[in-house]
């Protein structure tokens, strides 16, 4: 209709914030709390949402998604808990080493790719390591609404059990923690067996854990739609490669430590995105020409699309070969 | 802006009228001289001052009478408003969005005072002053969705989002273009769109779904849809087809200018923050042909659109039997001159009718 033509902006709407607290939780994980710069309340969010944190790292813009783990009913503060990844591309290191209380940052509005199924009669949460974060917000929400839940949380050790003690103290009958170094394991088959009809299971953690839960639940006859998962997909480093953007008429070098999407953005090309983690589909890009091998790492395209070589998700996927031309 | 609310009816004696101002701000849906489906989405973040696109929820001269008509429909058929048990939170989200928007956009008509969870809502046009506790259903006379949509023009579908699909799990539907909430409740996006011709083959719904799943908080979107209605009826529901369907046969070349209405839906899409559901308001605007042709550009263009519309669409939109009468009438207002691009009336630029 074009009543008032407005171009849809890439990415989400943003919120200007100040870092209000930095709380180290253990050797690896630190909580960052934010207040709005304008003093207004934050928008409410649904538990399971993430926000994309924009970091100005020596003029290089980093955009990393983190689960909002504060109580969704508390609109005075947003909080994220970040695990330091020494082998990563530097976003978590920037937060851990460079950010200080009082710094200004930009957060995207919340986006939820891991929502609760509100039809559930009971919610069972399975967390591995830093995968605990979305469940912190979910638990706060369900407690307020008086819904049934239980948590099974595996951590490497007591010393690295982020929020483990808080949770077991507050919810001794609902929060169960398992320490790897004490050889404790979730008895998944028994756990799945004993659940009442209408239970939904949510898993957030390493890839192996997610696959294990899906596989085991399927083998026990659980309907697919009752098992939900969120894997933290961070773009992994890879060999540098070159890409030609035919609509923009430019050629871009993708560095070892940047994603294809970041390289495109660095050149000033306005590309759509949302999750930056390979699952929302927003950055899907058509391949015009390719001589080489794709390194698809997303959850969005199906196997057939991956094999076709006609589409790529530039937020996490890469390319090895002679030449790549994208319709961007 | 103070609005003079009309005393009018959308049934029986059909006293519904558009003022000159309402005619000029009518959301004419055709930006060129032809029409075909498209996923014609744009951001819903304001528009020209005074236009129906300016505010998040447009309030116009028909507000009070439309709410009276809704109350009549509901008293005869309470199933026009439904909410599956898991959608209550989305109902509160809807209530919050509408109350906040209206009190900010029309401070002379609506007030919202919040002290934590204790809220006071004042709706001056409808004479409501109500204090309640947010998220506590026992403090409202009915569910939150019904409460607020009895005070907001247009239909509301509330879509739950699960497993990359949308489900019609709640709504308030009394001003619809021949579809039924009671029939569609619980259906997924493809199921409730199944009756639409051509668009499935064109891949329209797949693309539309992908777009809608990604509508984000603070970034609502909008589009227009349209059909034809004989007599200014808001409630053209399948439930009442036996009452209004026959009225299509009452059209004559003498009464068509007054009786035949272009019906336009301003559809908006809002991500609801607490529930992650998608709110889909469908606001209906009606204009009689005799009022529409007072805008020369619109008269010319509507004739060309209706003339060239594919058979399937004229059938689906329910006016194929009356198309000859409609073309005969509109043809009188088409002198063959070119029209300016875009939807606006362009009264200053467009020449008057040359015949």
Q: Do B343 and A8 touch (CB under 8 A)?
A: no
Query: Could you give phi then psi for residue A182, rounded to 5 degrees?
Result: -105, 15
Q: Does B15 touch chain A (CB under 8 A)?
A: no
Confidence of residue A288 (pLDDT cuts 50, 70, 90): very high
Which of B43, B274, B342 shows the shortest C-beta gap to A6?
Answer: B43
Q: From the CA of B177, how many Å to the nearest CA of chain A?
A: 20
Strands A60-67 and A49-57: antiparallel
Q: pLDDT tens digits for A37-50?
A: 999 999 999 999 99
Q: How confident is the model at residue B39 (pLDDT cuts 50, 70, 90)?
A: low
pLDDT at B169 over 90: yes
Give catalytic status of residue B223 as yes or no.
yes
Q: Does residue B209 lie in a domain region?
A: yes
For the segment B188-203, the average pLDDT, to the nearest whole number, is 85
- Domain residue limits at A294: 241-326
**Residue A8 near residue B230 (C-beta atoms within 8 A):** no
How far apart, in whole angstroms, are the C-alpha atoms of residue B87 and residue B279?
11
Listed by number, the residues of chain B in 23-62 with a beta carbon closer than 8 Å to a beta carbon of chain A are 27, 29, 31, 40, 42-43, 45-48, 51, 53
Q: Look up the CATH number of the domain holding residue A212.
A: 3.40.50.80
In a domain, A62, yes or no: yes
Kindly state whether residues A132 and A200 are assigned to the same domain: yes
Among candidate residues B72, B130, B121, the one with its CA nearest the CA of residue B98: B121
Give the total number of structural domains in chain B. Answer: 1
Give the pLDDT of residue A8.
41
Q: What is the CATH number of the domain that holds A98?
A: 2.40.30.10
Residues 6+ apart with CB under 8 A from A97: none
The token pair that represents B272 in the structure block: 């609801």
> Would you call A73 exposed, middle or buried from its count of C-beta atoms within 10 A (0-12, 13-18, 19+)?
middle
Are A219 and A130 found together in one domain? yes
Strands A122-128 and A60-67: unpaired
3-state secondary structure of A9: coil
Closest CA to A103 of A20, A208, A23: A20
Q: How confident is the model at residue A9 (pLDDT cuts 50, 70, 90)?
A: very low
Q: For chain B, what is the largest distance between any 2 Cα atoms, rounded to a whole number of angstroms?
A: 64
What's the whole-number mean pLDDT along residues A162-168? 96
In the structure, what pLDDT confidence band is assigned to residue A12 with cuts at 50, 70 and 90?
low
Question: Residue A152's pLDDT is what?
Answer: 98
The answer to whether residues A69 and A81 touch, using CB atoms and an 8 Å cutoff, is yes
In a domain, A8, yes or no: no
A290-294, B145-149, B196-200, B300-304, range with the lowest pLDDT: B196-200
Interface test with B, best of A15, A40, A46 (most B CBs within 10 A): A46
Strand order across the B260-271 sheet: B42-43, B221-230, B260-271, B278-288, B155-162, B165-172, B81-83
Do A43 and A95 sit in the same domain of this protein? yes
- Here the tokens at position A74 are 């508390």
Structure tokens of A167?
Answer: 């949770």
Q: Which residue has the higher pLDDT, B102 or B208?
A: B102
Q: Is residue A320 part of a domain?
A: yes
Cβ contacts of A49 on chain B, cutoff 8 Å: 276
A275 has pLDDT over 90: no
**In-domain check, residue A194:** yes
Residue A2 within any structural domain of the chain: no
Q: What burial letters (b/e) apply to A254-273, b meaning 16+ CB within 10 Å?
A: bbeebbbbbbbbeeebebbb
**A52 and A134 in one domain?**
no
Choose, from B11, B56, B222, B223, the residue flagged as catalytic. B223
Q: What is the pLDDT of residue B108?
A: 97
Helix axes B296-308, B323-331, angle to 10 degrees: 150
Select from A230, A258, A289 the last residue of a domain.
A230
Average pLDDT over residues B201-225: 86
Structural domain total, chain A: 3
**Average pLDDT score, chain A:** 91
pLDDT of res. B102:
98
Taking only the tens place, the pLDDT of each residue in A248-271 is: 999 999 988 889 998 998 888 888
Residue at B286 is within a domain? yes
Distance from CA of A18 to the nearest CA of B (A): 20
Whole-number Cα distances in Å, B170 to A278, B57, B209, B235? 31, 19, 18, 18
Cβ neighbours, 10 Å, residue B147: 22
What residues of chain B lie within 8 A of the CB of A72, using their CB? 274
% chain A with pLDDT above 70: 95
Q: How far apart are CA B218 and CA A92, in angstroms?
A: 27
Q: How confident is the model at residue B214 (pLDDT cuts 50, 70, 90)?
A: confident
Answer yes or no: are the C-beta atoms of A193 and A116 closer than 8 Å: no
Phi, psi of A153 (to 5 degrees): -130, 120
C-beta of residue B151 within 8 angstroms of C-beta of residue B123: yes
Q: Which of A130, A118, A78, A313 is nearest to A228 (CA)?
A: A118
pLDDT above 90 covers a percentage of chain B that reads 85
Distinct helix (H) and strand (E) counts, chain B: 13, 10
Residue at which a domain ends, from A172, A197, A230: A230
- Which pLDDT score is estimated for A144? 93
B262 Cβ contact partners less than 8 Å away, ≥ 6 residues apart: B226, B228, B286, B287, B289, B292, B302
- Does residue B168 carry a pLDDT above 70? yes
Local structure of A132: helix, strand or coil:
helix
pLDDT over 70 (residue A135)? yes
For residue A79, list its beta bridge partners.
A33
pLDDT tens figures, B312-355: 889 988 899 999 999 999 999 999 999 999 999 999 988 999 87
Question: pLDDT (tens digit, 9 = 90+) per residue, B117-167?
Answer: 999 999 999 999 999 999 999 999 999 999 999 999 999 999 999 988 999
Give residues with Cβ within 8 angstroms of A141, minimum separation 6. Answer: A47, A71, A72, A73, A116
Scan for tokens 């695990």, then name that residue: A83
Residue A151 lies in a domain: yes
Q: Let me know if residue A126 belongs to a domain.
A: yes
Q: Which residues contact A305 (CB under 8 A, 6 or more apart)?
A: A311
Contact call for residues B226 and B267 (beta carbons, < 8 A): no
Contacts of B115 (CB under 8 A, 6+ apart): none
Model confidence band, residue A62 (pLDDT cutoffs 50, 70, 90): confident
Average pLDDT, chain B: 94
Those residues whose C-beta lies under 8 Å from the C-beta of residue A216, and which sit 6 or more positions away, are A188, A189, A192
pLDDT (tens digit, 9 = 90+) per residue, B71-85?
Answer: 999 999 999 999 999
State the pLDDT at residue A258.
86
Whether residue B200 has pLDDT greater than 80:
no
* B25, part of any domain: yes
Q: Which of A207, A263, A259, A203 is nearest to A65 (CA)?
A: A259
Is residue A55 scored above 70 in pLDDT?
yes
Closest to A5 (Cβ–Cβ): which among B42, B218, B276? B42
**Percent of chain B whose predicted confidence (pLDDT) is above 70:** 99
The H or E element containing residue B222 is strand B221-230
Strands A122-128 and A199-204: parallel
Residue of B nearest to A225 (CA): B163
Q: Check pLDDT > 90 for residue A247.
A: yes
Contact B224 A5 (CB under 8 A): no
- Identify the DSSP state of A181: G
Give the pLDDT score at A189: 96
Here the CATH number for the domain that contains residue A307 is 3.10.20.30
User: Please, which residues 181-220 of chain A have a Cβ atom closer than 8 Å to chain B?
Assistant: none
Residue B32 structural domain: 20-38+47-78+154-331
Nearest-CA distance A223 → chain B (Å) = 12
- Complex prediction ipTM: 0.87
Closest CA to B273 of A108, A44, A109: A44
Instruction: Please tell me the least confidently modeled range out of A34-43, A55-64, A301-310, B218-227.
Output: A55-64
Q: Best interface-test mutation with A: which of B38, B216, B269, B342 has the largest number of A CBs within 10 A?
A: B216
Tens-digit pLDDT profile for residues B224-282: 999 999 999 999 999 999 999 999 999 999 999 999 999 999 999 999 999 999 999 99
Domain match, A185 and A213 both: yes
Distance CA B282, CA B105 (A): 19
* pLDDT surpasses 90 at A281: no
In-domain check, residue B158: yes
On whether residue B287 sits in a domain, the answer given is yes
Q: Which residues pair with B210 in a beta bridge?
A: none
Residue A85 lies inside a defined structural domain of this protein: yes
What value does the mean pLDDT take over residues A213-226? 96
């Amino acid at each position: 209709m074009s009543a008032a033509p407005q171009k849809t902006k890439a990415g989400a709407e943003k919120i200007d914030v100040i870092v209000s607290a930095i709380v180290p939780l253990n050797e690896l994980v630190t909580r960052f709390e934010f207040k709005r710069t304008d003093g207004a309340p934050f928008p409410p969010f649904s538990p399971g949402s993430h926000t994309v944190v924009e970091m100005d790292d020596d003029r290089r813009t980093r955009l990393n998604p983190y689960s909002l783990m504060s109580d969704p009913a508390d609109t005075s503060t947003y909080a994220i808990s970040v695990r330091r990844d020494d082998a990563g591309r530097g976003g978590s290191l920037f937060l851990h080493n460079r950010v200080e209380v009082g710094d200004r940052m930009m957060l995207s509005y919340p986006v939820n790719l891991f929502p609760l199924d509100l039809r559930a009669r009971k919610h069972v949460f399975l967390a591995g390591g830093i995968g605990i974060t979305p469940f912190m917000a979910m638990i706060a929400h369900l407690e307020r609404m008086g819904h049934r839940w239980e948590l099974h949380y595996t951590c490497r050790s007591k010393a690295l059990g982020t929020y483990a003690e808080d949770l077991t103290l507050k919810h001794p009958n609902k929060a169960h923690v398992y320490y790897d170094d004490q050889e404790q394991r979730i008895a998944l088959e028994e756990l799945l067996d004993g659940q009442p009809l209408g239970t939904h299971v949510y898993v957030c953690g390493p890839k192996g854990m997610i696959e294990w839960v899906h596989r085991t639940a399927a083998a026990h006859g659980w309907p697919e739609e009752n098992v939900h998962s969120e894997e933290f997909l961070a773009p992994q480093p890879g060999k540098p490669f070159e890409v030609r953007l035919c609509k923009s008429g430019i050629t871009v070098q993708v560095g070892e430590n940047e994603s294809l999407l970041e390289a495109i953005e660095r050149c000033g090309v306005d590309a759509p995105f949302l999750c930056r983690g390979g699952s929302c589909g927003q950055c899907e890009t058509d391949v015009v020409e390719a001589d080489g091998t794709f390194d698809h790492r997303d959850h969005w395209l199906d196997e057939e699309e991956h094999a076709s070589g006609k589409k790529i998700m530039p937020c996490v996927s890469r390319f090895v070969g002679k030449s790549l031309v994208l319709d961007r | 802006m103070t609005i003079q609310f009309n005393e009018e009816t959308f049934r029986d004696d059909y006293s519904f009228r558009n003022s000159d101002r309402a005619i000029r701000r009518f959301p004419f849906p055709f930006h060129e001289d032809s029409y075909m489906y498209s996923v014609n989405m744009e951001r819903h973040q304001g528009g020209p001052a005074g236009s129906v696109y300016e505010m998040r929820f447009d309030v116009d001269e028909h507000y009070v009478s439309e709410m009276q008509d809704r109350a009549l429909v509901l008293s005869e058929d309470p199933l026009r408003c439904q909410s599956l048990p898991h959608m209550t939170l989305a109902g509160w989200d809807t209530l919050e969005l509408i109350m906040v928007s209206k009190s900010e956009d029309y401070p002379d008509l609506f007030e919202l005072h919040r002290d934590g969870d204790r809220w006071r809502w004042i709706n001056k046009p409808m004479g409501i002053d109500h204090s309640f506790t947010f998220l506590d259903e026992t403090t409202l006379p009915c569910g939150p969705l019904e409460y607020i949509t009895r005070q907001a023009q247009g239909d509301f579908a509330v879509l739950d989002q699960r497993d990359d699909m949308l489900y019609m799990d709640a709504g308030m539907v009394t001003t619809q273009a021949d579809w039924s909430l009671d029939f569609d409740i619980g259906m997924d996006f493809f199921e409730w769109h199944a009756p639409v011709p051509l668009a499935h083959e064109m891949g329209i719904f797949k693309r539309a779904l992908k777009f809608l799943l990604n509508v984000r908080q603070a970034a609502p979107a909008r589009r227009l849809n349209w059909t034809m209605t004989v007599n200014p009826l808001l409630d053209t529901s399948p439930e009442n087809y036996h009452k209004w369907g026959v009225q299509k046969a009452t059209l004559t070349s003498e009464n068509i200018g007054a009786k035949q209405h272009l019906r336009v839906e301003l559809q908006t899409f809002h991500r609801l923050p607490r529930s992650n559901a998608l709110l889909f308001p469908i606001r209906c605007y009606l204009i009689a042909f005799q009022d529409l042709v007072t805008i020369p550009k619109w008269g010319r263009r509507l004739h060309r659109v209706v003339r060239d519309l594919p058979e399937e669409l004229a059938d689906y939109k329910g006016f194929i039997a009356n198309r000859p009468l409609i073309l005969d009438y509109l043809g009188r207002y088409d002198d063959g001159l070119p029209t300016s691009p875009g939807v606006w009336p362009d009264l200053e630029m467009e020449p008057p009718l040359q015949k």
